[in-house]
Structure 1
Amino acid sequence: MSATRRSVMRGMALSGLAVGGANLLAACGGDEGGAASGAGASVKFGINEAEGTGAAYDRLKAIGEAYAKESGTKVALNAVDHNTFQESINTYLQGTPDDVFTWFAGFRMSQFAENGLITDLSEEWPIDGLGDSFKQAATASDGKQYFVPISYYPWAVFYRKSVFEKNGWTAPTTNDDFMALMDDMQGKGVTPFAFGDKDGWPAMGTFDILNMRLNGFDFHMSLMAGDEAWDGDEVKGVFDTWRKLLPYHQEDPLGRTWQEAATSMGKGECGMYLLGTFVVDALGENGEDLDFFTFPELDSSIGSDALDAPIDGFCVAAAGKNQEAGKAMAKWLGSAAAADAGNNNADAPFIAANDGASTSTYSDLQKKSAEVVGAAANIAQFMDRDTNADFANTVMIPSIQAFLKDPDDIDGVTSSIQEQANSIFG
């Protein structure tokens, strides 16, 4: 299922959540009863962005307001910062969760389904405008759908066009060009790569792309599933390649958030940044100056046709009080109207999953993103979505951070990962 789900975009071109404290959950509001939708109905909507944090919060708030206006349903918004959402999702779903909440396609969606934490949405499918590939992305291991996609975005190497033009730099197409570009940047006093991993998850994207470039997509997905050895030569080779690239990155990444790293690129202190297109949220006026290229191939036998392109969307919590209202809202969230509400009410629009959504407001960056993802042969969802949640959070975050502190201890890091993988995957 993993391979087919992650080939979702081929051929496509444009076409919290509270947990940490009961006080956050209590602030959700909303009634415990009510009709499925319409006057008198109510639904609690949990989102993974804190109030006032920028375009991502604005999008989700606008989407919730649009549904309330269109359906007559009372929507109680519960906004929680992204990291708290990520770290507390299991506790949240096992407690008193909101009815509908933001989540992602991938292994962890399926894992929640297997554990009975999210609601079967099979009756809500098909959803007009979402094709078979997105239905596959919404499907868990039991063959049922538990997720409604709304958008997607690629991870790539971003840069400011004006900085490249000023210095006579062009996007590299080969590894030799890539290395020469980084050497030239350093020679001109520019740090090639902005880099921040204070939050733990951003550096996972670097591991993902290096592993897919060196060992291929199939190996990467098998590794995420626990079916390959973390202390084998393949993974050691990934860390060794990463070790050689670290001198081209900002130093002390564990003391820097991804937003702070993005600001460094925005100021021209760094030339590039490997991240998702949400990097634009941190760049303000420099967002229109942004362009990107996919990470070049490192092995000609592997190529460069795989990338991370996570799909965002929504699930209904099995422990939510208003199941019918939650399912009604979830189906609407997959519509073109929901995507348009998000795109029309934020400074940094996303790429809609629904092929009926308007593209009239799409920027050049959005158009290019859709084209690049559509041309990819294989799509991964990102490490913390493609593997076991405990493994991603309790093993890989500290292990990658340990590597970044001491990149010469590759044997120690990989041995530790494998030992812990044995206990989690069996």
Structure 2
Amino acid sequence: MSQSPFNGSAVPASLSGHRISRRNLLRGAAAGAGAIALPSLLAACGGGPGGDGKTVTMGSNASDPVPKKAFAQAFAAYEKQSEDKRTVDVNTVDHNSFQENISRYLQSKPDDVFMWFAGFRMQFFAEKGLLHDISDLWGDYTGFSAALKAQSTGSDGKQYLTPYYYYPWAVFHRKSVFAKYGYEAPRTLDEYLALARRMKKDKLTPIAFGDKDGWPAMGTFDYLNMRTNGYEFHKSLMAGEEAWTDRRVKDVFDTWRGMLPYCQQGANGRTWQEAASSLQKGESGMAVFGLPHPGQQFAEDEQDDIDFFAFPEIDPAHGQDAVEAPIDGFLLAKNSKSLKNDSTMESARDLLSWLATGKAEDVYLAGDPNNVAVSEDADTAAYTPLQKKAVDLIAGSKQISQFMDRDTRPDFASTVMIQAIQSFINEPDDIDGLVNGIERQKKTLFASDAGS
């Protein structure tokens, strides 16, 4: 056993989460009816209110091979230990399609249980009445810190999420490439850019970069903002309490503009998998990723060659205090017809209770060592050096963020920031026009909460 880095005493303020009053729908709803055809992408596998009572349908966004296989192993382990012969019927959908269509999915014919995220993304759907309250299950959960519970709690004080794992974001690289050229991990932005210049002279692309999926570059913005302006400003900005036209935000984009010449060009046409592949091939020197991303693109015999360092310091006043570390988990869909069957509901709750155990996390992480268990009851003896380093990174942090598209309202992240960041990548010189456009749209969206 080991102490979870998400403990109430270490980072209570940063993990307490923002409270929201009312949220609009995600991209589909924000764009208007008919923008995205949901049923063909996220159709539930399971039966209606009848069913056999022992089959639980699972809506999965784990479409990449490594997590998909690891989840299959975890669900198989659940079925094997189930004395009542309960089974899990998995409906796997492309990760991006799942995210873009989640609102309509949950309002239509969702699976019984689905994979999703902590923070705003969970709170939003809880406030819409699209999730089942599992507070009573939490009464029996062990191994979860108070901070984890806070991240699984809606604005009504009830719990809706069963957390499963987390993964920090950092700057990843190959040990062998650094050893070959004599590179050393930088601590400050100046050192980071100096290293990028060396890599360019060595005929490497310094920073692998892909944002075709719309969300990967958000991690870079988050770090630049937290390193430049501090976690509290970042939190307020995500909550709509700061102006995007503020000089401090312009400074973030100005710093990012200075980094772009060292990034892979054409990022908006490149997926994160393709960017990670260039790192794996030794064509690029570094990349800002979450822990699972490079691990899923490296062969099994190359895993030991993956390493990372914390995103560099920009302002010494903020140092490297904040770390981006999203939490993923499982929720019960309120509109699942089969959950109206008491036996199916009992089976779904039994599955969540098992997934909340350290043993369940052990099974998953044995197949996907690219994440870190949230439970203090999980066995960390088998952790890879990279996982242990990830735990240390979190444990040494003073604040934890969840990622832009989880720390702010969903419609703002999906309909405003994806487009804004991709526009900036294509045309980075008009920062005033960029932030003016973001602020104008932010005021419109956040104003919808007024008086609610």
Query: TM-score scaled to structure 2, two decimals?
Result: 0.87
Q: Is the aligned partner of 1:163 residue 2:177?
A: yes
Cα distance, 1:21 vs. partner? 4.5
Question: Are residues 1:29 and 2:50 paired?
Answer: no
In structure 1, the partner of 2:55 is 42
Deviation at 1:20, TM superposition (A): 4.5
* Contact in 2 for aligned 1:155/1:307 (Cα 8 Å): yes
Amino acid of the structure 1 residue aligned with 2:362: D
Contact map agreement 1:55 1:348 (CA 8 A) in 2: no
Alpha-carbon distance in structure 1 between the residues aligned to 2:44 and 2:119? 30
- Other structure's SS at 1:22 match: coil
Alpha-carbon displacement from aligned partner over 1:59-86 (angstroms, at most 9, x marks no partner):
2222222222222212111111101111
Counterpart in 1 of 2:358?
336
Match of 1:142 among 156, 173, 179: 156
Alignment TM-score, normalising by the size of structure 1: 0.92
The whole-number CA distance in structure 2 between the counterparts of 1:305 and 1:118 is 34
What's the CA shift for 1:189?
Answer: 1.1
Q: Deviations over 1:129-172 (max 9, x none)?
A: 11212111111111111101110110000000000001001111
User: What secondary structure does 2:381 align onto?
Assistant: coil
Alignment correspondent of 2:371: 350
Is residue 252 of structure 1 aligned with residue 252 of structure 2? no
For the pair 1:65 / 2:76, whether they are aligned, the reply is yes
- Work out the CA distance in 1 between the residues paired with 2:37 and 2:92: 13
By how many angstroms is 1:260 displaced? 0.5
Equivalent in 396, 401, 407 of residue 417 of structure 2: 396
How many equivalent pairs are there? 408
Q: Which amino acid aligns with 1:170?
A: E
Matched, 1:114 2:127: yes
Identity of aligned residues (%): 49
Quote how far apart the aligned CAs of 1:357 are.
1.2
Partner of 1:77: 90
User: Alpha-carbon deviation of 1:58?
Assistant: 1.0
The residue type equivalent to 2:105 in the other structure is Y
Q: For 1:339 and 1:176, locate their aligned partners in 2 and report how far apart those are by CA, in whole Å.
A: 39
State the 1:42 CA deviation. 2.1
1:302 corresponds to 2:318: yes
- 1:153–1:277 contact (8 Å) kept in structure 2: yes
Q: Distance in 2 between matches of 1:95 and 1:5?
A: 36
**Helix, strand or coil for the counterpart of 2:12?**
helix
Q: How far off is 1:405 after superposition?
A: 0.7
Unaligned runs of 5+ in 2: 1-7, 17-35, 340-344, 448-452
- CA distance in 1 between partners of 2:395 and 2:15 (Å): 9
Q: Which residue does 1:13 correspond to in 2?
A: none
Gaps of 5+ in 1: 9-18
| Residue of structure 1 equivalent to 2:298 | 283
Q: Distance in 1 between matches of 2:355 and 2:260?
A: 41
**What secondary structure, in the 3-state scheme, does the structure 1 residue paired with 2:101 have?**
helix
What SS class does the counterpart of residue 185 from structure 1 fall into?
Answer: helix
Separation of aligned partners in 2, 1:418 and 1:156: 28
Q: Which amino acid aligns with 1:327?
A: R
1:219 to 233, 242, 259: 233
Q: 1:316 and 2:332 equivalent? A: yes
Cα distance change, pair 25–416 in 1 and its aligned pair in 2 (3 A): closer
Question: Which structure 2 residues correspond to residues 235-246 of structure 1 after superposition, within 5 A?
Answer: 235-246=249-260
Q: Which moved more, 1:278-287 or 1:392-401?
A: 278-287
Maintained 8 Å contact 1:147/1:314: yes
Distance 1:4 1:324 in 2: 33
The answer to whether the aligner puts 1:4 opposite 2:4 as a matched pair is no
CA distance in 1, matches of 2:213, 2:396: 31
Task: Report if aligned partners of 2:225, 2:234 keep a CA contact under 8 Å in 1.
Answer: yes
Tell me how far apart the structure 1 counterparts of residues 163 and 118 of structure 2 sit (CA, whole Å).
8
Matched residues in 2 for 1:266 and 1:114: separation?
42
CA 1:338–1:31: 2 relative to 1, 3 Å: farther
Contact 1:30 1:43 in 2 (8 A): no
How far has the Cα of 1:93 moved from its partner? Answer: 0.4
* Kept in 1: contact 2:44–2:59 (CA 8 A): no
Alignment partner of 1:377 out of 398, 406, 414: 398
Amino acid at match of 2:117: F
The whole-number CA distance in structure 1 between the counterparts of 2:59 and 2:129 is 19
Q: Distance in 2 between matches of 1:382 and 1:135?
A: 18
2: CA distance, partners of 1:203 / 1:266: 19
Between the aligned partners of 1:132 and 1:61, the Cα distance in structure 2 is 29
How far is the alpha carbon of 1:349 from its aligned partner? 4.5
* Alignment match, 2:386: 365
* 2:433 counterpart of 1:412: yes
